[in-house]
Amino acid sequence: MFIDEAKIRVKAGDGGNGCMAFRREKFVPRGGPSGGDGGKGGDVIMESSERHNTLVHFRFNPEYKADRGRHGEGANKTGRDGGDVVLKVPVGTIVYDEESGEKVFDFSGPDQRIVIARGGRGGRGNARFATSTHQAPREHEPGRPGEERNYRLELKLLADVGLIGYPNVGKSTLISRISAARPKIADYPFTTLEPNLGVVAVGDEKEEISFVVADIPGLIEGAHTGAGLGTQFLRHIERTRLLVHLVDVSDASGRPDVVKDVDVIMGELASFGAHLEDKPMIMVASKIDVANKDKLAKLKRYCKKQKLKLYEISAVTGKGIEDLKYGIAEEVQQLRKAELRQSAQEQKESSPSA
């Protein structure tokens, strides 16, 4: 089960109460105040983990509470701090405040952690209030309450390449041929009901290039408004560096105009509102083993006009798969280098010496 959205309620631990006590020991006259402080309440911490890939564990257990701090005791004994609660989330999770809608944190890498609810401070015992003129204080403080928050979690897959296209154009078959991923494959629309990730390695050990491919469930016209499954999964394309657009050039699709198919998908990307249509793209003519020559010729003319690279493949027979793998690897490598150059330039501009 792939769950990419969840709402949770978290409550940090309350602080322990400060103690009011006076030292009473044999042979110790006028022992004075000895009430200890209360312990701090536990925090609720969120941490990214590569061992998790969905938010399903939050769907069935949406409430989390940290331990409260123990109350202070006599003989100046401070109460024990409450235990923290650590919530593990997949890399790619974005945390939003449910009430304000503000983005709290974006877990873009493993082992990142933040405190999403802070425990309350322990109250002071009466020993803290003793002064030279107030030697027998009876004042003591209650513990402070821990923070209580509601959050919305949204998972966006971290992948270098996103496979897009109409349902049944061969995305799942392609990812199964180029990686170890084994998605469900069948001859009916919307076979893929959840994104699939596959790791692809190209080249030898010395110059190996690896990248992550995401098989996005098929888009149809009106996806950005909720038609089909598009609005549910379009956001997973946001983090990708490169889009690979598969177009069915066989007669099996029942759609006569391949250029219209491309325009519909591009329109959905543009309508989603995250500049998805501006991402670098490679076009792929799928199912060329049973291709309609007129459709293929029309797609070639379109790609030439739009200056898009076109690869012809058959995921069933394997024709063109290797060329496509190396073509994707080359594009991904260039995009990674461009990102590094841009990052270095931004750091240089933001440094004090600049």
Per-residue pLDDT of the chain (354 residues; tens, 9 = 90+): 456 789 999 999 999 999 999 988 888 777 889 999 999 999 999 999 988 878 888 988 999 999 999 999 999 999 999 999 999 998 889 999 999 999 999 998 889 999 999 999 999 999 999 998 998 899 999 999 999 999 999 888 778 898 888 888 888 888 888 887 554 444 434 444 466 778 888 877 667 788 888 887 756 555 444 444 445 567 777 888 999 999 999 988 778 899 998 998 888 888 877 788 899 999 999 999 999 999 999 999 999 999 999 999 998 888 999 999 999 999 999 998 998 888 788 888 876 654
Q: Which residues contact 242 (CB under 8 A, 6 or more apart)?
A: 160, 161, 162, 279, 280, 281, 282, 328, 331, 332, 335
DSSP 144: P
Packing angle of the helix pair 321-350, 171-178 (nearest 10 deg): 80
Matching CATH topology for 1-155 and 161-348? no
Q: What residue ranges do the domains of the chain occupy?
A: 1-155, 161-348
What pTM value is reported for the model? 0.70
* Residue matched to tokens 């996806």: 223
H helix intervals, 42-117? 56-59
* Residue matched to tokens 């513990």: 143
**Region 1-155: CATH code:** 2.70.210.12
Cα-Cα-Cα-Cα torsion 5, 11, 13, 15, nearest 10 degrees, comes to 140
H helix intervals, the chain? 56-59, 171-178, 230-233, 258-272, 293-306, 321-350
**Region 161-348: CATH code:** 3.40.50.300
Q: How far is CA 150 from the centre of its chain?
A: 18
Alpha-carbon span 180 to 170, nearest angstrom: 16
